[in-house]
A and B are shown apart, each in its own frame.
Chain A
Amino acid sequence: MLNAAVTDLMPDAAATTAAETDNSLVRLAIGGDMQAFEAIYRRHASRIHGVIMRLVGGHGVRAEDLTQEAFVRAWQALPKFRFESAFATWLHRLAVNTALMELRTRRAQPLFDDDEERLDDLGLADSAGQNTALSMDLERAVATLPPRARAVLVLYDVEGWKHEEIASELGMAVGSSKAQLHRARQLLRERLGEQA
């Protein structure tokens, strides 16, 4: 399922070629070849950053930090990659796990939910009123969801994960994952309705 989520936008032949290229680069990178790892980064950065952005609700600085963290962890974990699944799938899961770990840390410290972007705005004496955007599209509505509900919704409805996979990554019961999804969809409909 997850594999399909990662590759189902590609034609089969192209996906196969991409996977073979990935595997060649991974073998070189396992041997310490930084140029190969940079090539891996260049090939996957947009996709990894994309999923992390969705998970953190579009907060750019956090997403960039976590993307960096994910690639550093990938470098460390490369020797454990067994070439049994697609590398893109493995990397995708590692990146999601990195983002979710941060989510769990923030959850343990509820008051710590202020953001880099908010801090960036502090004291800058900018009266342009940039926070008054009137239209809220679907992506922005997703970003306003509570972090845990958003994570479940993004993983299930956007990334195509199963509840069992989500529950495992988030350390929750399968039933809780389903309940969070129900709540997230309900909130999303309400918020989109409010904007209509």
Chain B
Amino acid sequence: MNQNDESLRWKLRGLRQDQPPKRDLWPDISARIAALPPRQAEEPVQRLSGVRRFAPWAMAASLVLTVGLAWQATRVAPQDPVIPREAASLTRDYQGALAQMQGAEAHPEFGVALQELDRSAAQIRAAIEHDPNATFLLERLRRTYAKRLALTQRAVMS
């Protein structure tokens, strides 16, 4: 390493600083943890309890599904291949909502932004196909759809 490298590295070391998030992430983290299946280390305890213990879990799971929180459950199950299915379901819901909003095309000033969001959503869907265990992509897809719908609504109302 030459002197320039040493000098640069010295300056770079100065970047190693703590940086708190701009918002408190704990509520989201705790919600995600609460939706997680039991950890591996806890499984043997449940196995000891047998089928009776399983039944309430199954009932709770079906309840969660019926109130539409399936997506939230899948986002924290990294080995679950259901993520692509949830992405498809999310896409259908989004397309249904978008179909209710007519007239955005009459405002070309929004065109570039809307196309950019469409392009981004397509890339995220492709990324999910490529990596079906990437739970964060599902959240990103949901966010992109939400932005697309909000912007479309703004275009329609302007």
> Quick one: given A72-B32, A109-B127, are A139 and B15 in contact (CB under 8 Å)?
yes
**Cβ of B20 under 8 Å from chain A:** yes
Encoded as 1 (CB less than 8 Å from any B CB) or 0, chain A from 33 to 63 comes to: 0100110011001110110011000001001
CB <8 Å contact, B19 and A50:
yes
CB <8 Å contact, B136 and A65:
yes
Segment with Cβ contacts to B, from A16-24, A116-124, A128-136: A116-124
Identify the A interface with B (CB < 8 A). Answer: 5, 9, 30, 32, 34, 37-38, 41-42, 45-47, 49-50, 53-54, 60, 63-69, 71-72, 75-76, 78-79, 101-102, 105, 108-109, 111-112, 114, 116, 119-120, 122-123, 138-139, 142, 153, 157-160, 185, 188-189
C-alpha gap A194/B120 in the complex (Å) = 32
Encoded as 1 (CB less than 8 Å from any A CB) or 0, chain B from 6 to 38 comes to: 001101111111111111011011101100100
CB <8 Å contact, A123 and B114:
yes
**Cβ of B92 under 8 Å from chain A:** no
> Quick one: given A38-B30, A123-B154, A153-B12, are A49 and B19 in contact (CB under 8 Å)?
yes
- Residue on B nearest A9 in the bound complex, by CB: B16
**Cβ of B123 under 8 Å from chain A:** yes
Secondary structure at the B interface, as helix, strand, loop or mixed, is helix
A contact residues around B25 at 8 Å (CB): 41, 45, 64, 67-68, 71
CB <8 Å contact, A105 and B137:
yes
Q: Name A72's contact: one of B4, B17, B29, B126 (CB within 8 Å).
A: B29
Q: Name B36's contact: one of A9, A76, A122, A158 (CB within 8 Å).
A: A76
B contact residues around A158 at 8 Å (CB): 12-13, 15-16
Secondary structure at the A interface, as helix, strand, loop or mixed, is helix
Encoded as 1 (CB less than 8 Å from any A CB) or 0, chain B from 115 to 158 comes to: 01101100110110011001111011001100100010010000
State the Cβ distance, A113 to closest chain B Cβ, in Å.
Answer: 9
CB <8 Å contact, A114 and B29:
no
C-alpha gap A195/B33 in the complex (Å) = 45
Q: Please list 16 pairs of residues, one from A and one from B, whose beta carbons are closer than 8 Å in the complex, sorted by A's number.
A: A38-B30, A45-B21, A46-B19, A46-B20, A47-B18, A65-B136, A68-B28, A72-B33, A108-B127, A112-B127, A119-B120, A122-B116, A122-B147, A142-B15, A158-B16, A159-B16
CB <8 Å contact, B21 and A67:
yes
CB <8 Å contact, A138 and B123:
no
CB <8 Å contact, B22 and A64:
yes
CB <8 Å contact, B39 and A105:
no
A contact residues around B126 at 8 Å (CB): 109, 112
